[in-house]
Amino acid sequence: MILDLEAIWLDNTLRAWGTALLLALSINVVIGLVKWLVITRASRSNMLTSRGLDRAMVAMARRTKQPLIFLVTLMIGTQYLELKPGLEHGLSKVATVAGFLQLGLWLSGALNVWIDRYRSNSHDAAATTSLAALNFIGKLLLWALVLMAMLDNLGVNVTAMVAGLGISGIAVALAVQNILGDLFASLSIVIDKPFVIGDTIMVDSFTGKVEHVGLKTTRLRSSTGEQIIISNSDLLKTRIRNFKRMQERNITFSFGVVYQTTPEQLAAIPGMVRGIIEAIPHTRFERAHFKAFGPSSLDFEVVFWMRNPDFQESMDVRQTINLEIFKRFGELGIEFAYPTQTLIVQGQADKFPGAAAEPG
């Protein structure tokens, strides 16, 4: 049986139908070949760990669906045919739906690449929950936009729908504004990174180590053991002190000596303290001064820096300095002051010219 290619079917010859189908299949095969080459090249190289653009291309290639591509290319092939208005309109609608579905898959794949890349670069366990929420919200908005664009291209009036969704969205946002505020604050913490899990921070008068950053709250563990829970929105409204990111730790301390200390001894104290501090590794001396005449002592103030901001090490250094100062004062006969009061009874000053001193 010989097929008559000039036979008419739906107002077109079989030859024309065959040419249209061949064109559609050819374009589909070319796109499939490009998809295979991109994925094969990625599996044979370091493309998956290279630039974000390359990784996005691989993700989009893997999300390319040949049936959807065929429906679009079929519409391209039928442009050379004389079709009835109803059939042509139906093929156009099918191609529009398929095209927008494929576009949504491509954009969704690119979004996944961006989220995964950010998660891998953050090295923060807290990012997992928040980025998962960001991924969900991003895909929800993405597919909503794709759906709106698809309906608009299909001839559906989306103006009323958008207005209705806008009013509904406002109502929902007002109902859950506190939750949404905490959610976006969580995303802000993950993206901006004012702190990460393991950092020791101070929020108002509360100090603790960050244990968990959730969608609504951040949890700290204080030095006394209790857990402090703060909502994310409240957290970002206040000033945060991050002790983990200190490059150096400033240490200031004071001490006092008795008024019986000689001027020569007073003049020697700053240099002696400086020598003690500079002899300790990882310290940077700033100053030591005879600061003030106190009620019962001659007061000195010392300032130095720890190049390693670790709190435990800074306390060890403080202890070493205090012990060495105590030792040197003992050798030089310098006495530390302690609070005293001198009580002079009226009318008895001639009998007790020395004035009695009592510990205060």
DSSP assignment of 282-294, as one string?
TEEEEEEEEEEE-
Other beta carbons less than 10 A from residue 339's beta carbon: 11
Q: Residue 59 is which amino acid?
A: A
- How many Å apart are CA 91 and CA 74, to the nearest integer? 8
- How many Å apart are CA 190 and CA 198, to the nearest integer? 14
Crossing angle of helices 159-175 and 127-153, rounded to 10°: 160
What pLDDT is attached to residue 356? 45
Main-chain dihedrals φ then ψ at residue 84, nearest 5 degrees: -70, 150
What pLDDT is attached to residue 16? 77
In the sheet that holds 227-231, the strands lie side by side as 227-231, 217-221, 206-213, 200-203, 240-242
Strands (E), 147-274: 200-203, 206-213, 217-221, 227-231, 240-242, 249-257
Give which of 209, 210, 331, 323 is closest to 265, Cα–Cα.
331
CA distances from 205 to 15, 66, 285 (A): 83, 60, 30
- How many Å apart are CA 307 and CA 285, to the nearest integer? 11
Question: Token pair 């857990």 is at which residue?
Answer: 227
What pLDDT is attached to residue 166? 66
Question: 258 with 335: CB under 8 angstroms?
Answer: yes
- Overall pTM > 0.75: no
Which neighbouring-strand residues pair with 208? 201
**C-alpha neighbours within 13 Å on the C-beta side of residue 231:** 10
- How many Å apart are CA 80 and CA 75, to the nearest integer? 10
Cβ-Cβ contacts under 8 Å for 110 (sequence gap 6 or more): 56, 59, 60
Give which of 294, 282, 217 is closest to 248, Cα–Cα.
282
- How many Å apart are CA 173 and CA 156, to the nearest integer? 27
**C-alpha neighbours within 13 Å on the C-beta side of residue 104:** 20
Question: Token pair 């969900």 is at which residue?
Answer: 136
Going residue by residue through the chain (360 aa), what tens digit of pLDDT does each one get?
A: 556 666 776 666 777 778 888 888 888 889 889 888 888 877 666 554 556 677 788 888 888 888 888 888 888 777 777 777 777 788 888 888 999 999 999 888 888 888 777 666 655 555 565 666 677 778 888 888 888 888 888 887 777 666 666 666 666 655 556 667 777 787 788 777 888 888 889 998 889 999 888 778 889 999 889 999 998 888 888 889 998 888 899 999 999 999 999 999 999 999 999 999 999 999 999 999 999 999 989 999 999 999 988 888 999 999 999 999 999 999 999 999 988 766 667 655 555 454 444 444
Question: 221 with 206: CB under 8 angstroms?
Answer: no
Domains of the chain: 8-122 (no CATH), 156-244 (2.30.30.60), 249-341 (3.30.70.100)
DSSP result, 93-146: HHHHHHHHHHHHHHHHHHHHHHHHHHHHHH--TTHHHHHHHHHHHHHHHHHHHH
Main-chain dihedrals φ then ψ at residue 306, nearest 5 degrees: -95, 120
What pLDDT is attached to residue 268? 95
**C-alpha neighbours within 13 Å on the C-beta side of residue 271:** 5
